[in-house]
């Protein structure tokens, strides 16, 4: 994979130019895109022209190439939301996040494949580690493009588990910030109380660097060794549904970070937080039926069967049930804050297991739903494998404590890397 931080440092040092980095990406795309299918559209010629502009090396992103999930509006590239309803659609303006990438000196080279409206239905993208397996979804193309070294940074979004799960399946770092830390103006809604933009990169320090540059925030974690965090090891009521390899990876990570100096304690989630798992379904589907009102009412037959059936069921959710789910979520956020009073972060699975075989399903976001509903920052930490397929472990932080969450994730990543390479 291409480390965004390493590339940025080499550009700063004059060892590379933004154009040279772009050509690294172009070569990887030429070598692997035909078999992986990570991009829905590319404009390398326009990216080259941008990369040649003077002064890019002095910008926050140093002229690094960035790929954008195809539910973010882009004025200079088609935006089709993974749906035939919007074939050839060209917005008149960039989404705010896209504009911030350009403002920070990022070079946008293309749009990555998304599942239909970032929801149900598989994508044709393949997992770079084994082409017979899914890369996950809905941010399928973004995770696969980073994993295949076609791009150093890519944008995704998460409504249930669409950043953390594909990052886990593809062996990349995935960062889902606190709810709406990255602006969502100009991004196709599915569930407006859940949808959160996030980033994929080679490692934790890479996504922290990119997020800090794009948002003009102090999020970098590479300038000093991370402090040993206080970690709550959470199995949750879903733990029995994790595969043996995933359970072993999380338990091993807990032992490794404890030996490295972190304080690790096993914590059970209060029943209200477990109830919030079901509330996430209600909020997601109720809002999805309304966010896609135009498409459902005018173009229902053009919606893929899995999503169409999901919306059919969602039509039966009452406003009272939705309001009750929102109240459950509100109470659960306070309970989570109390639960985390004595720890910095939670350690828990990123996904049930390695990426499922086949392209007919993008995997289950069961280990992500609660944290998305809570609006908490989450990081997939790569490093474990089962055979040739990656296993990801998840670090969950407190709302608004994104830098502390990224620092803790870096501590875990470095401790695991040291131990597994010894």
Cα–Cα dist 138/197, whole Å: 12
Residues in the chain, pLDDT under 70: none
Domain-wise residue ranges, the chain? 4-215
Paired tokens of 339: 């639960």
Would you state the pLDDT for residue 120?
84
| 8 A C-beta contact, residue 377 and residue 178 | yes
> How far, in Å, are 71, 101, 116, 174 from residue 122 at the CA level?
15, 28, 8, 20
Residue 43's pLDDT is 98
Determine the Cα–Cα distance for residues 140 and 273; give it in Å rounded to an integer. 28
Q: Tens digit of pLDDT for each residue in 23-42?
A: 999 999 999 999 999 999 99
Query: How far apart (Å, rounded) are the C-alpha atoms in residues 8 and 3?
Result: 9
Give me 8's structure tokens: 């940025």
Would you call 386 helix, strand, or coil by DSSP? Answer: strand
**45-75 pLDDT per residue, tens:** 999 999 999 999 999 999 999 999 999 999 9
pTM of the model: 0.98
Instruction: Specify the CATH architecture of the domain 4-215.
Output: Alpha-Beta Complex (3.90)
Beta carbons of 67 and 177 less than 8 angstroms apart:
no
Alpha-carbon span 284 to 194, nearest angstrom: 7
- Phi/psi region, residue 420 (left: phi>0; alpha: psi -120 to 50; beta: rest), is alpha
> Which pLDDT score is estimated for 212?
98
Strand partners, 345: 231
What is the SS3 assignment for 336?
helix
- Report pLDDT for 121: 85
């Amino acid at each position: 994979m291409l480390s965004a931080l390493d590339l940025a440092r080499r550009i700063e040092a004059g060892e590379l130019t933004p154009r040279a980095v772009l050509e690294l990406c172009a070569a990887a795309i030429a070598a692997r895109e035909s078999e992986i299918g990570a991009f829905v559209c590319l404009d390398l010629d326009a990216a080259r022209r941008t990369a040649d502009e003077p002064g890019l090396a002095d910008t926050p992103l140093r002229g690094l190439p960035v790929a954008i999930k195809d539910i973010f509006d882009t004025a200079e590239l088609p935006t089709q939301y993974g749906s035939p309803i919007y074939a050839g659609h060209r917005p008149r303006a960039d989404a705010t996040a896209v504009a911030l990438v350009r403002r920070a000196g990022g070079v946008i080279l293309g749009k990555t494949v998304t599942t239909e409206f970032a929801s149900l239905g598989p994508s044709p993208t393949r997992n770079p580690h084994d082409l017979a397996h899914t890369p996950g979804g809905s941010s399928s193309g973004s995770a696969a493009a980073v994993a295949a070294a076609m791009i150093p940074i890519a944008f995704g979004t998460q409504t249930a588990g669409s950043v953390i799960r594909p990052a886990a399946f593809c062996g990349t770092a995935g960062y889902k910030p606190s709810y709406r830390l990255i602006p969502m103006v100009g991004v196709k809604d599915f569930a407006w109380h859940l949808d959160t933009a996030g980033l994929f990169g080679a490692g934790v320090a890479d996504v922290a660097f990119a997020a800090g540059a794009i948002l003009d925030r102090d999020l970098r974690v590479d300038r000093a060794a991370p402090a040993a965090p206080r970690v709550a090891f959470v199995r949750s009521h879903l733990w029995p549904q994790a595969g043996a390899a995933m359970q072993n990876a999380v338990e091993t990570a807990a032992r490794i970070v404890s030996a490295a100096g972190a304080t690790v304690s096993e914590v059970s989630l209060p029943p209200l937080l477990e109830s919030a798992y079901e509330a996430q379904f209600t909020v997601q589907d109720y809002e999805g039926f309304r966010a896609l009102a135009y498409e459902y009412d005018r173009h229902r037959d053009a919606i893929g069967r899995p999503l169409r059936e999901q919306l059919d069921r969602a039509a039966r959710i009452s406003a009272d049930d939705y309001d009750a789910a929102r109240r459950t979520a509100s109470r659960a956020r306070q309970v989570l804050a109390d639960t985390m009073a004595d720890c910095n972060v939670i350690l828990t699975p990123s996904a049930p297991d390695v990426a499922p075989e086949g392209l007919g399903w993008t995997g289950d976001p069961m280990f992500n739903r609660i944290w998305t509903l809570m609006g908490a920052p989450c990081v997939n930490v790569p490093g474990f494998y089962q055979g040739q397929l990656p296993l990801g472990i998840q670090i969950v932080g407190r709302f608004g404590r994104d830098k502390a969450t990224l620092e803790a994730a870096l501590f875990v990543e470095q401790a695991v890397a040291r131990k597994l390479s010894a």
